[in-house]
Structure 1
Amino acid sequence: MSDVVKPLPALLQRLRYQILLGWLVAVAMPIALSWVFIDIPVYQSTQYITAIGASISLAAGIFAFRRLHIFPGIAAGGYVVMAISATFGVLAIALILLRLDYSRVLLTIIYIASVIVFTLMHLLIGSRQRYRMGVIPGGRTEDLPALKKVLWCGLDRVDMPIPLLDGVVADLHFDHSDAWDKRITELVLNGIPVYDVSQAIEQLTGRVEVSRLSQNTLGALNPNDVFLQIKAGVDVIVAAITLVLLAPLLIVIGLAVRRETPGPALFRQYRTGFRARPFVVYKFRTMRVADPAALDDADDRIRAMTQLNDARITRLGAFLRRTRLDELPQLINVVRGEMSLIGPRPEAIALTSWYEREIPFYHYRHIIKPGITGWAQINQGHVTAVEQVREKLHLDFYYVKNFSFWLDLLIIIRTLQTMVSGSGAR
């Protein structure tokens, strides 16, 4: 991921202008469109009650999000949806209890529009905003200045005045002096957020080091079972609908693969899946079918690897890999419950056995279903060397630890960008 962050226009850095922009799109526009196209005037009681309530809820949701004191990194955007949903939920309950006449359809539209608009604003504006963070010396904080997405301000002396900051980062597991402990407490009492250095590094890099097993955001090693079940249901529905919609494209690609070189259209391979259970993965074939005599003498691990500029890849296969279209048949695996739309990449069994011998905790990535795309895939692409796989495991661990709908949404957006650019393909 690039560390270069372009500064935002000064106007968009101010919260009140962000709220105003969001209100115009998410609240004012739906009301105006309903007046123009459905002839429901804004001065009608159902309209202005809905508009006033939605405006208050929207502003309250954004201010609540800002008061959550979440480190402004990758996972922060998920709390935008949570905060807006909470305040709109309170509004709906209040309207029902007060028996006020409001438009349920309009309120629903405004809520959905608010979630979409402010999620996109966080992606486009919040992710580019430069934050000023103080750094308390000691422990792992010496690694922070290398992370360029934040303007770091070293607090070198315990008695130095604190400049205007968005927060302070400290190694809360480090044995600070009594003076620094008192100073950190004073910062918290004065309303200045204090974050642990491990959280800051994870949220800025999207990596979790594999020196030890790390608990997720719920404080457990196991991911959220409720989210897993909901995600599995959504995966099957979306994959089935997508298979139907893309059936003509899948047929055309399959015929093109068969026409270019002899052999089946689909490539099948046993890979390691959920809870380390093997399954057969489906992809469009992108390589020439190997000579059976050569297979007898080849190492399974070597055959499973795709090398840079691999001579086995066909011309059509290179295009399919670059655009990730070769992954589309894995929708069948999703419908069968063997894969998810988003998760760690499933590796060939021969490679899995090798990585488990070389890399501590590699087995832990199988705690969730493998995915067609995922956090590691969009940030690193295809790799095979042990050190590169170790780095990829850091990314997989971040996904396991920060498992959420928000992170899945971010991965989907980044995957679409990757399909267009073709980055990371091999």
Structure 2
Amino acid sequence: MIRLFKHYVPNAVLLLGLFDLVLLLLAAELGWTIRADQIDMLVEPVHTRVPQLIAFAAVVWTAMVAVGVYSVESLQSIRYAAVRLVVAVALGVLALSAIFFIVPALSLWRSNLLYGMGFAILFLTLLRLLLGKTLGSQAFKRRIVVLGAGPRAERLKGLAQRPGAGFVVVGYVSMSEGSRVIPEAIARDAIYNLADHVVLLNASEVVLALEERRNALPLKDLLRIRTTGVHVNDTSTFLERETGRVDLDSVNPSWLIFSDGFSSGRMLSGVFKRLFDILASLILLVLTLPLVALTAIAVKLESKGPAFYRQSRVGLYGVAFDCIKLRSMRMDAEIGGKAVWAEKDDPRITRVGRIIRKLRIDELPQCWSVLKGEMSFVGPRPERPQFVEDLEAKLPYYAERHMVKPGITGWAQINYPYGASIEDSRQKLEYDLYYAKNYSLFLDLLILLQTLRVVLWPAGAR
């Protein structure tokens, strides 16, 4: 994996993305050349239209990232990828039309754009047909050796067998654990030189998966392995990188304290984040005002009660604030003010409410909270005080998610479907902790882009 701005990108995805950019440039150039030839126009050298070609490639490629063209599912299924490619190119062309209106110097003719769009879909689909199996092959997977043969090692084994896994386990070494569950593991006593064994397996990384590390760390072995150039990681760090989550089953307070992340040097990025929040919330509030007004009228016409409602949520450092949303449930949804989890096909949701929840229109009034500074566009979703009190008692490190400002969208929202249980909250907490630990402007941008995928293909919105 390649680490970009504290976020890991699989080698196969990075390579595919670079190929895509080259093909998008080629598609734009062919679209221009063919159309110019059709009208008998002299085709000038390519350097005279470099800005237009780069604009086409950059915008369409950004749309591809936004709709999930580089997700695990897209890499595994050509049909899944083809649908998203068509949507991405279409959205990219629409965005380009707006950009060309604002900056005419970057514009291609509409006919050029149509040809470029067709070539882009053709080239990108053919590339995936040619490289589909290669991208998921062993050539792009990192080879790891697991030190341990207990339940933690078994978790790594299961993760390696999942479709789209970026690594393959080439060996297990039993370190005299009492709970051995990996039958193929080789006993440490049967290996004369562990460092030499790792090198012979051509491993690039060793993962320490011991069930009990107190007075059991094989320090001499780990030192020799590290000096051969092989990376050494513990289970928690490895799982964080591979899954994009902080694994609550393996972490402990010392790992959270001493591991990389939770950087205090966020002053500059924090300023940029706040400036973006102010500017974007102002623009959205103005642009979506007609839509919000029409939705409010529809809500009022369907059911009695106010179109908007305020709800207390827990924000930064555990301070409560009032969150404003368009009402999507009946007025008697919560009798006595008792907080109740939303369910699948919840009967309390109105017909209009079901639509605006699917399209996330009910979230738009929260831009006011963003403008006031109580929320950000990106961050953990704020929960209700009643739920927070219960979850803090049942889930470790739940209070730590309140060390960053809550958001309208977040890392958990784009990676995990809507959940309404303690287990769902646990899964989402792992994503929220990853975001708090690895926050960067790059990660915020990635989350904002991929929120479009969640809107276009809702996963369990309630």
| Fold match (TM-score > 0.5) | yes
Q: Per the alignment, in what secondary structure is the counterpart of residue 424 of structure 1?
A: coil
Answering whether residue 388 of structure 2 is matched by residue 352 of structure 1, we say yes
1:226 maps to what in 2?
Answer: 268
Kindly indicate whether the alpha-carbon contact (under 8 Å) linking 1:216 and 1:223 is maintained by their aligned counterparts in 2: no
User: 1 CA distance for matches of 2:453 and 2:224?
Assistant: 45
TM-score (norm 1): 0.65
TM-score (norm 2): 0.61
Kindly indicate whether the alpha-carbon contact (under 8 Å) linking 1:322 and 1:422 is maintained by their aligned counterparts in 2: yes
1:391 Cα offset (Å): 2.3
Q: How does 1:175-254 map to 2 (within 5 A)?
A: 175-177=216-218, 180-181=221-222, 183-188=224-229, 192-210=230-248, 211-213=251-253, 214-215=256-257, 219-220=261-262, 224-254=266-296
**Which of residues 308, 316, 331 is equivalent to 1:274?**
316
Cα distance per residue 1:313-359 (max 9 Å; x no partner): 10111121122221111111111111111111111122222222333
Q: Per the alignment, in what secondary structure is the counterpart of residue 377 of structure 2?
A: strand
Structure 1 letter corresponding to 2:143: M
2:361 maps to what in 1?
Answer: 325
Number of residue-to-residue matches in the alignment = 335
Q: Per the alignment, in what secondary structure is the counterpart of residue 329 of structure 1?
A: helix
Structure 1 letter corresponding to 2:408: I
Q: What is the RMSD of the two structures over their aligned residues, measured on CA atoms?
A: 4.2
2:169 maps to what in 1?
Answer: 152
1:283 Cα offset (Å): 1.0
User: 1 CA distance for matches of 2:16 and 2:331?
Assistant: 59
User: 1 CA distance for matches of 2:223 and 2:245?
Assistant: 31
1:143 maps to what in 2?
Answer: 155
Kindly indicate whether the alpha-carbon contact (under 8 Å) linking 2:339 and 2:386 is maintained by their aligned counterparts in 1: yes
1:171 maps to what in 2?
Answer: 208
User: 2 CA distance for matches of 1:357 and 1:176?
Assistant: 32
Answering whether residue 362 of structure 2 is matched by residue 337 of structure 1, we say no
Unpaired segments ≥5 residues, structure 1: 1-11, 55-72, 75-107, 109-120
Q: Per the alignment, in what secondary structure is the counterpart of residue 427 of structure 2?
A: helix
User: 2 CA distance for matches of 1:347 and 1:14?
Assistant: 34
Q: Per the alignment, in what secondary structure is the counterpart of residue 313 of structure 1?
A: coil
User: 2 CA distance for matches of 1:184 and 1:301?
Assistant: 53
Q: How does 1:389-400 map to 2 (within 5 A)?
A: 389-400=425-436
1:152 Cα offset (Å): 2.3
Structure 1 letter corresponding to 2:169: W
Unpaired segments ≥5 residues, structure 2: 1-10, 55-70, 73-105, 107-123, 174-190
1:79 maps to what in 2?
Answer: none
Structure 2 letter corresponding to 1:137: L
User: 2 CA distance for matches of 1:278 and 1:249?
Assistant: 28
2:407 maps to what in 1?
Answer: 371
**Which of residues 135, 142, 147 is equivalent to 1:132?**
142
Q: Per the alignment, in what secondary structure is the counterpart of residue 152 of structure 1?
A: strand
User: 1 CA distance for matches of 2:367 and 2:391?
Assistant: 26
Answering whether residue 326 of structure 2 is matched by residue 316 of structure 1, we say no
Pair 343,176 (structure 1): closer, same or farther in 2 beyond 3 Å: same
User: 1 CA distance for matches of 2:217 and 2:444?
Assistant: 38
Pair 187,22 (structure 1): closer, same or farther in 2 beyond 3 Å: farther
Kindly indicate whether the alpha-carbon contact (under 8 Å) linking 1:345 and 1:370 is maintained by their aligned counterparts in 2: yes
Pair 17,328 (structure 1): closer, same or farther in 2 beyond 3 Å: closer
Aligned sequence identity (%): 33
Kindly indicate whether the alpha-carbon contact (under 8 Å) linking 2:207 and 2:235 is maintained by their aligned counterparts in 1: yes
Structure 2 letter corresponding to 1:203: R
Structure 2 letter corresponding to 1:264: P
